[in-house]
Chain A
Amino acid sequence: MELLAFGDTGYGDELFFGALTTIQLAVFGYVLALALGLVFAVLALKGKGPRWWLFRVYASIFTGVPSLLIIFLFYFGGAELVRSLLAPIGINVRLDVSPFTAGVAALGLVYAAYLGDLIRSAIINVPRGQFEACEALSVPRRHMWLSVVLPQAFRIALPGLVNTWIVLLKDTALVSLAGLNDLIANAKVAAGSTKEPFVFFTAALLFFVVIATVTLPLVNRVARRLERGQRRAEV
């Protein structure tokens, strides 16, 4: 147990800060994915036309290759990628892409493809009558989306959103392969220098298992409380 103690004697603090990095990475990546996914969903809503096709191509690419490969692409090539994207509009930057940034960008872009599909189908599953009622009442577009459609779509998408969060959280482990000092990387260091890999990897494993196991019931409880007396719309 003293192996896991905080301070000089143990590796508790290293694991703790590693876990913080892991959570930070997951949260940033997820928020980015959620924001992009929402934009994609709304742009590609119609299910035909150039915007829909662009999204299909995007989704096909980012769901068709491993996230690890995208992480490497952004880590090795991100700086040049950004430079060549910004050069045409006259901005010249030299930047270093840290593993953390590469990880956030990669996970965000990959899971935006999954979330885009998820949110889009949730919006489509909001009954048509809800849109029509807003139209007939001349509710402005902005309020229709923000107050009527998206809250209901969110409820429909919730299980998928939670599932994606868990999958993304697990994928953060891969960013350690690009040199991020997250939970796994620190566990690996500790394992190497103490020659006690079993202890440290088990600790890291439990971290993920506990979060994954706790998330769904927790979210369900919060959702139930938010919903108070209501049920889903009749179709």
Chain B
Amino acid sequence: MRFDPVLAWGSMPALLDGALMTLLVTFTVMAVGGPLGLAVSFARMSRRRPLAWFGAAYVSVCRGAPSLILLYLIYNGLAQLDIVRDGPLWFLFQHAFFCVVIAFSLNHSGYIVEIMRGGMEAVPAGLLEAGASLGLSPRQVLWKIRIPIAIRYGLKAYQNEAMLFMKSTAAVSAVTLTDLTAAANEIFYMTYDPFTPIITAGAIYWVINNAMRIGFGLLERRLNRHLGLA
């Protein structure tokens, strides 16, 4: 086993380009999947049976399936359906990036639904009653008390999910997107050095992963400081 520093240095530009794609996918999916998950979590917790049922099925499928299959299903599978082919959005589904964002957002939002649900249920009933007894409307209790507290409760779980999912974006190379893993792979096929590109890419992932951890740590401290003052 040998690590070639010269090759590592030479590969940096390509790998960093790949890392940029990884980050772009990650943040786009967080931006799309977050609100999507929030919306579905309302359905999941709804008192209307069909809505709740839809939410449960959504979570089952989106969380239970590997993102790679969701990705194939959307990138290759939808192309076969006439409604999609003839629909107005067809030009979007031809783009790998668009399909990646949809597939991973489905997966990511599935986790968010459960995190939100856990957080909402953990909010002490006493707090909600206190809010109501102060004359807040049910809507105000929901938006001003329950959701903000649920988000704080869920933050730790969300951090874990976000970090796991950032790493899982390595699968996007399967649909021709050149992310960090794909970039490392390309260098391997050019040089047949099995260690240098992969270890270097691993180091970059490691840095991103820990940067996310630190970022979430700061965010949590900020939210909790606010909570402490309130």
Q: Which residues from chain A sit less than 8 Å from chain B, CB to CB?
A: 60-61, 63-70, 72-73, 76-77, 80-81, 84, 166-167, 170-174, 176-177, 184, 187-188, 191, 195-198, 201-202, 204-205, 208-213
Contact = CB atoms under 8 A, between A and B. Distances in A.
Contacts, number: 129
6 contacts: A64-B202, A64-B209, A73-B199, A170-B66, A174-B68, A195-B80
Contacts of B81: 198
Given A166-B64, A198-B77, A177 B70 contact: no
B167 A67 contact: yes
A73 B198 contact: yes
Nearest to B167: A66
Interface in B61-110: 61, 63-70, 72-73, 76-81
Contacts of B11: none
Interface stretch (B27-35, B44-52, B169-177): B169-177
B190 interface: no
B168 interface: yes
Contacts of A212: 60, 63-64
Given A66-B181, A69-B198, A197 B205 contact: no
Contact of B198 (A77, A201, A210): A77
A129 to B, nearest CB: 29
Interface of B: 1, 60-61, 63-70, 72-73, 76-81, 164, 167-171, 173-174, 181, 184-185, 188, 194-195, 198-199, 201-202, 205-206, 209-210
SS of B interface (majority): helix
A117 to B, nearest CB: 12
B202 A69 contact: yes
A188 B164 CA distance: 25
B222 to A, nearest CB: 24
A61 B206 contact: yes
Nearest to A64: B206
A197 B80 contact: yes
Nearest to B169: A66
Contacts of A198: 73, 77-78, 80-81
B181 A72 contact: yes
A76 B73 contact: no
Nearest to A83: B1
A184 B65 CA distance: 11
B181 A69 contact: yes
Contacts of A197: 72-73, 76-77, 79-80
A58 to B, nearest CB: 13
Contacts of A63: 209
Contacts of A65: 167, 201-202, 205-206, 209
B188 A177 contact: no
Contacts of A166: 64
Contacts of B77: 191, 197-198, 201-202
A77 B198 CA distance: 10
A64 B63 contact: no
Nearest to B164: A167
Contacts of B170: 66-69, 174
B69 A204 contact: yes
Contacts of A177: 68, 171, 173-174
5 interchain residue pairs of minimum CB distance: A77-B194, A212-B64, A76-B194, A173-B66, A66-B170
A73 to B, nearest CB: 5
A93 to B, nearest CB: 15
Contact of A170 (B65, B80, B181, B209): B65
Contacts of B66: 170-174, 184, 208
A66 B61 CA distance: 22
B213 to A, nearest CB: 9
B184 A173 contact: no
A217 to B, nearest CB: 12
